A and B are shown apart, each in its own frame.
Chain A
Amino acid sequence: MASSGSGYDLSAATFSPDGRIFQVEYAGKAVENAGTVIGIHAKDGVVLGVAKPLYHKMIVPTTASYKRIHTVDVHAGVATTGFLPDARVLVGRAQEEAADWQEHYGSKVPPHVLADRLGHYVHYFTLHGALRPFGASCVLGGYDVDTKECGLYMLEPNGAAYKYYGVATGKGKQVAKTELEKLNLHKQDAESSMDVATAVKNVAKILILLHKENKDSDGKPMELELSWICEASKWKHAPIPKDVLTAAKEWANEQLEEEDEDDEEEEEAMEEG
């Protein structure tokens, strides 16, 4: 890194001569090295997904200490990645913000407010030398009880909290982004727009694709953790039912195999040509 060693990158309270805050960028590196998180805002709900490698034989796979998607309030959830202890703090803060809103206004916090408040919190840690920025990022999905609409947001280590149709962060974000763009998620009015059932399948597909393409994970077992908010979940944030998840995985694997075969045919055709 060209800047390291310059002395302008040792504190979040220091700007570099060209106007960057390196400590925040470095914190972002912790996210870029961590597992991929994907979120899709479909026309009738939101889907969150994480792929977890089972990197240790003796770890208990069902344990909640291994959970990467958390429920913030009945109607909102976050999928986390990065330095996980930091991520847990973000989740805790999100839960506090939701409870705080409920206490004051007696209603469920709208997702955009939750994202905004969480953004403020994360941003605060980018201002002081005595604190360090969060080395974690999270994708937040929520349901607005008043407008009856869902929202999908991503929190970044710099405090940004943008709204998305589809979003990916973590190690495989480039590949995932390319895949998400193919889905035309932003054309929500079109007849071809995606429903949650299809979104679930596609999230599973992208995560499995990433796992297969990653050389480090070769052969190692991997577990998918997916959640959604939609009519089927009564507009609550809930893990995706096991049968739906199994079906999505099967579909994803079939699709990927087909695509592989197509590629091979193309290659063969090229060679023959």
Chain B
Amino acid sequence: MWRKYDKHSAIYHTKSKIENLHFSVSLKNISSLIKVPKFEKTSDVQSLSLDNDELIGELEIKWQEKVFSSVEVEVYSDVENCSNEVQRKYHNLIRDGENVRQGKIFTYVQEDNFTPSEELLCHTESKRSIPYKKETPDPNEEEVMYVYASLSPDVLLFEVRWRAKEGVLIVCPDFNDCEDNPYYIEIDSDYRHLYSYTVKNTSPSLDMLSAKLEKNMKLGTRPIIDIDRIFDMPPKHSTRFLVLLEIQSASFFEYENLHIRYKISIPDRFILEEGELMGSTHSSVSLNSIWKFGHCFQFAILSSTKVPINENFTIYLEAISIDSWTRERPEGFAFYTIELRPQQIQIEIPCFRVDYGLLERIERFFIGGRRHFDLEKFCSGNDGMLNRYRTKTISTGSLIMQCQIIMQRNDDLARGINLDNDLCVFNLEDVLKKHHEARVRLESVV
């Protein structure tokens, strides 16, 4: 139906000033793929084929010009959302109302420190093995600018990189023409949306010599695909927890051929992303009266709030023995609550068994059999009080478990804050920047 034009990066050398760079981006919504000719008198022959497409955005942009999206305007209008200097500057700009351009097409400039979460549009090879000699580019050497369209989701249209030292401009994808080779975007949400966009170089006096496109640029060992930026982040303003649990061993239980069944209950505001919350270990025969399981499992959960504080999850455990005559006997129950924060702990959980009376003990010895016991209800209170008075229990053995939790957040607004002090790079510029930020904070309080 239409031909997809491949997107390539282009490399230009220029000795002129980068501030002279102008380009214009235009975005069209393709409502129908069939070009039906319209029988109207038109003086311009060329406009025949383009009537089916609806122009939704057109923008003339200069180098490092900040254009806000509607989401950004909303966020930065509120001064409390601004955590660093750049954001405060935006807030002031929006408040003053001047030079504020917003629309479907918006930009991220060098100051935003933005890293796109999606893969770049241009691939020369889509599957490439990661070269291990990677160079982390010095931010002083390269300036970058991203142009996005706020369709849902936000789509990266265009990326421009400028290396001042070498006089090299990298444009990805290359400039194109709306008639000859527009770039297409396909979004599959409620139904298929198709858009096309073009990027034109309108710089008046920028004299650019196009360099030959080479796959492995001789400009440095840094490949075109920015593998550094690909990582699976949780959705914005939500937190992901990865919990790794291991049931290590059990000791001092009565009967042999023991296995442990577990069930995990997560707090209400979380959803399970990956893994299973219920399962059982294999049956084990003891050695020196210790049953070793070494059963590892993991699950990932996602919360809808920003930073959940004081959230816990609970693990309910049940130890059961099955002997060679397939008689099942409950050996112990236990539960444990673990706080959801990054940590690594080893816990020993003592277990208990319910004692129903003399008849039940005889029955347990001869026939076995498990009675229905609602452990979750036993461990949660109702009507303001957890009353276990009527139940008699016997202590049985204990279980040893290890739990490790990792937390991952995707919070653009918190990016200015250093999450881990050990990774601070202490050079002079950092110190001056932090001093300046602290001073601004102090002034706003005083």
Our verdict on whether A and B bind, yes or no, reads no
